[in-house]
Structure 1
Amino acid sequence: MPLRAPVLLIVDYNLSRIGDVLHLRDYARQQWGAQTWLIRANPQDHDRTISDRVFDADPLHPDFVDQALNLLGDDAGRISAGLVFSDNAVTSGAALLERLGLPVDDAALALAAFDKLAYRTAEDRVRTQLNQLGVTLPDFVRIDGLHDVRNFAARQQGSFVIKPACEGNNRGVVVVSAGGDCEQAFTEVAPYLDGGVLAEAFITFTREFSYDGLGKLWFVTEKVSASGRYPVEVAQILPARLSEQERLAIRNAGEQVNRLVGQRIGPFHNEIKLSDSGDQTAVIEPNRRPGGMKIWTLAHAVHGLDLYAAWVDSVFAGPVPEELPAATCSAATVMFGVPHDVTIDVTTLGDVQALVRDTLTRAAQELALSRDDIALLESTWIAGEPRLIHAIPRDNSDFVAQACVALHAPSVDIRDLVRVLREQWLLVLERCLAPELLLKVAS
């Protein structure tokens, strides 16, 4: 690579995306002859293995932009393109790329894509316009103390949700039923008060989707969530099962969200609920990044387009498709849990791919499929130190593994495959949980 190669700057990423960053680096090098530089707080050795240079700056620090520019120094002029790849950096990262004169989505509006309270406030300003488009807006309030929870509960006729304003992966999200224990719910979200907490009326629509895409390219992904107190995502499915009217309703809502958060050329992942009638929507939250749970990996398997490559192309001013090719199969990312509450170290459990392949074989038998009908796209342990994992997940940390699978048998619904995979995984995992590897926690 030439000494003065062009540079792709990636502003922050979550550790679960390390493989995606490596893919972005490799594609930028291959297609554009570019080095990849990375800015994130407290970089570690693995950051140096997936990028050509690393700079230590915290995107949540108030002076992040100036700090980053000082670190880059005269080398800032070598940067040809940039990507913002985390929620934490969505505002400050966009501001940095703007200062560098690089194409990026609007920094001034980006806070609404990170702070759920800021989004609800922005949404409320255009309530009438959104209502006319069939978008329902929930009642909401900022929570600073227990009295705010009680006052909000008193004016609700049904359930409501309390959640941190700036957390991901369903951390801290609690559903409070009508007449429920406000004090207990407040206790669960109290650790997040410094970053902001809000309460909002529970959106009763039962179907949830995400409006995903890059620039003008869009598609709809279907979410499968747990029922009950902790509405944790257990799977993402593509293609979503929708009528044309329903797809249009979600697209209308998703495009309004993109306008509110300043998305124009970059990625988006807007979580949206849909009424049973199919003509009313409600926004759960916006995101100006690729969807989690490997949604772009699913899109690649189903539609044959590498969106990460397209994202790199877009910031180097290369051509980007505006439509996805037709679907050739269905696919899902499935989250795998534990059969009972345990304190567990996943590194003691062996090869995750072998366990997942065993699970797929058992699921194929259960659904009368050929094993070749189910393709394993990728699988991984969800990394971390030994920790308590709940059999009834409270957030995404209560899963031990995830897998992306593609289904090439149109006779079987991908949703049935998701259900059977999660059931069979528990049986497979149970065999691995030898007494010396875990401390069973009384339920």
Structure 2
Amino acid sequence: MNNIFLILGCAKQRWQDLEIICEYVKKTYSLTTMLMVNKAHKEFYSVCDQVIEVDLSDQNFIALASRLLSEQKVSGGLLFADQALLHGTKLFEQLGIVCDNSELGINSYSKLEFRRQEKRYFSHAAKTHYFVPEFSKVNSLQDVHAFAVKYPDGFILKPISEGGSRGVLKLHAQSDFGAAYKQVECYQADGLMCEQLIPTFREFSFDGVGDISFITEKLVATGAHPVEVGQIVPAELTCDSAEKISAHGRLMNLWVGQQLGAFHNEIAYLESQGSTAAIESNRRSGGMGIWNLAEKVFGENLFHRWVDVAMGQTVEHIPLNATGKAMSCMLGSRENLIDDLTMITAQIQEVLAFELGPDIELFSLRWLHTQPHMLPSIPQSNFDFLAEACIYCAHFDLSNQALYERVQRAWDKCLYIGMKEEKCA
């Protein structure tokens, strides 16, 4: 009988985070790591002892998983994907291992249930300093038109249960609703919803595990597809603004039943009003390397702390004091690239590090795609980029926007150099 640490779900692009988790589990707790995941990618087999392909959303998942684990002793586990919340917490309760509230987990998985929980809360609580958007489930194009009439200043049309900005559209009175609806029809089976547009704001996330927390600032693309293109740790905020965002983040944790585990709560800050608005809540670590950025500036590996919590250890509150600034940037494609960059990825990384200059450290470059022709010209989700770069500056001299633009200029230049040298080879 193996002593197992069970991980439910993992997105392909997060296999390196999975590797951090598995290495720590083996080194610290001497457990066998088992991953149950919807689709098993080759990278998973290189970091986990056992990988089992299974539909996490299957209504019979608990019974199936119980049979697969009948000869194992499960000592701890993590829910590493949103879909794992559907049945994973119930499974963990049945196995007798540490997990957060199972009943409220649906409020994190379903954006519609989250809004309903928010509405219930504010039906008997003051909305001082909180902006609460109106919302509605939509079942047809006619429903979208009806919502647009109520909110002519704009609204969001999105799937009820998707991540990575997939299917999220920002619309206004002049938008082509028919074309927009066609773009999201593929998500109709799991449901669609509309939300009132939050007025002009800066976007942040309240991140952490257990009682350990920090605030990340986000850079978001303009236009119809509000895709996140950058993450910055620590966020640049006044003490008052930071406290408002943190308070809202803790409130969101309450709504989704988070107490011990990881959280990534996306929050808008309306500077002109001094108020906050919830965007969405996640009972997992944030994507786009957010915890890797945190380790760089705070010196604390939150993946390790998450495993410790899952193993029943008491993780004391740790004050996080930042040294320098770290940023992750999504790096897009461009016209006239060669069909396959696989053979020159190492060369591109070297050139990118050089072009950034001596005051900016490129400490991670994750390739998401190496075939540019497979990507849309305008990214519609976080899966429509070539790569994700994580950089670090020991000083705060550059503004966030200036730092982001510097990375993008360096990326454009190194892609050009890569193309040129490949063609001459």
Q: TM-score range by the shorter chain?
A: over 0.9
Residue of 343, 354, 361 corresponding to 1:361: 354
Match of 2:6 in 1: 9
| 8 Å CA contact 1:237, 1:330 repeated in 2 | yes
Q: How does 1:330-345 map to 2 (within 5 A)?
A: 330-340=325-335, 344-345=339-340
Match of 1:71 in 2: 68
Alpha-carbon spacing, 1:375–1:342, altered in 2? closer, same or farther (3 Å): closer
SS in structure 2 of the partner of residue 89 of structure 1: helix
Cα distance, 1:42 vs structure 2:
4.6
SS in structure 2 of the partner of residue 37 of structure 1: strand
Alpha-carbon spacing, 1:385–1:351, altered in 2? closer, same or farther (3 Å): closer
Match of 2:413 in 1: 427
1:37-84 superposed Cα distances (whole Å, 9 cap, x missing partner): 221235355433322223332111111111100111132xx1111111
Cα distance, 1:347 vs structure 2:
2.2
Match of 1:57 in 2: 54
1:329-348 superposed Cα distances (whole Å, 9 cap, x missing partner): 10000111123387844425
Alpha-carbon spacing, 1:251–1:380, altered in 2? closer, same or farther (3 Å): same
Q: How does 1:248-263 map to 2 (within 5 A)?
A: 248-263=243-258
Separation in structure 2 between the aligned mates of residue 385 and residue 97 of structure 1, nearest angstrom: 39
Separation in structure 1 between the aligned mates of residue 128 and residue 80 of structure 2, nearest angstrom: 31
Counterpart of 1:52, as a letter, is D
Match of 1:351 in 2: 345
Match of 2:183 in 1: 188
Counterpart of 1:421, as a letter, is V
| 8 Å CA contact 1:10, 1:39 repeated in 2 | yes
Q: Judge which range, 94-103 or 298-307, deviates more.
A: 94-103
SS in structure 1 of the partner of residue 179 of structure 2: helix
1:130-173 superposed Cα distances (whole Å, 9 cap, x missing partner): 65352211111111111000100111130111011111111111
Counterpart of 1:351, as a letter, is T
Alpha-carbon spacing, 1:99–1:73, altered in 2? closer, same or farther (3 Å): same
Separation in structure 2 between the aligned mates of residue 47 and residue 228 of structure 1, nearest angstrom: 35
Counterpart of 2:267, as a letter, is I
Separation in structure 1 between the aligned mates of residue 421 and residue 58 of structure 2, nearest angstrom: 45
1:261-317 superposed Cα distances (whole Å, 9 cap, x missing partner): 110100000100001136311111110000000100000000000001111111112
Match of 1:440 in 2: none
Note if 1:404 corresponds to 2:371.
no
| 8 Å CA contact 2:77, 2:310 repeated in 1 | yes
Separation in structure 2 between the aligned mates of residue 324 and residue 195 of structure 1, nearest angstrom: 40
Alpha-carbon spacing, 1:338–1:154, altered in 2? closer, same or farther (3 Å): same
Separation in structure 2 between the aligned mates of residue 258 and residue 25 of structure 1, nearest angstrom: 26
| 8 Å CA contact 2:369, 2:385 repeated in 1 | no
| 8 Å CA contact 1:331, 1:414 repeated in 2 | no
Counterpart of 2:231, as a letter, is Q
Identity %: 32
Counterpart of 2:378, as a letter, is I
Q: How does 1:257-406 map to 2 (within 5 A)?
A: 257-277=252-272, 279-340=274-335, 344-348=339-343, 350-352=344-346, 354-364=347-357, 371=358, 373-383=359-369, 387-406=373-392
Separation in structure 2 between the aligned mates of residue 229 and residue 130 of structure 1, nearest angstrom: 33
State the TM-score, normalizing by the size of structure 1. 0.90
Alpha-carbon spacing, 1:115–1:346, altered in 2? closer, same or farther (3 Å): farther
SS in structure 1 of the partner of residue 395 of structure 2: coil
| 8 Å CA contact 2:348, 2:418 repeated in 1 | no
Q: How does 1:73-222 map to 2 (within 5 A)?
A: 73-75=70-72, 78-129=73-124, 131-222=126-217
Counterpart of 1:20, as a letter, is D
Separation in structure 1 between the aligned mates of residue 145 and residue 110 of structure 2, nearest angstrom: 23
State the TM-score, normalizing by the size of structure 2. 0.94
Alpha-carbon spacing, 1:325–1:243, altered in 2? closer, same or farther (3 Å): same
Root-mean-square deviation (Å):
2.1
Separation in structure 2 between the aligned mates of residue 263 and residue 384 of structure 1, nearest angstrom: 37
Residue of 211, 229, 232 corresponding to 1:234: 229
Separation in structure 2 between the aligned mates of residue 435 and residue 325 of structure 1, nearest angstrom: 44
Separation in structure 1 between the aligned mates of residue 182 and residue 116 of structure 2, nearest angstrom: 25
Q: Judge which range, 240-249 or 176-185, deviates more.
A: 176-185
Cα distance, 1:205 vs structure 2:
3.1
Separation in structure 2 between the aligned mates of residue 249 and residue 119 of structure 1, nearest angstrom: 20
Counterpart of 1:29, as a letter, is K
Separation in structure 1 between the aligned mates of residue 176 and residue 411 of structure 2, nearest angstrom: 34
SS in structure 2 of the partner of residue 409 of structure 1: coil
Q: Which runs of 5+ in 1 are unaligned?
A: 365-370, 438-443
Cα distance, 1:406 vs structure 2:
0.6
Number of residue pairs the alignment of both structures matches: 423
SS in structure 2 of the partner of residue 88 of structure 1: helix
Match of 1:367 in 2: none
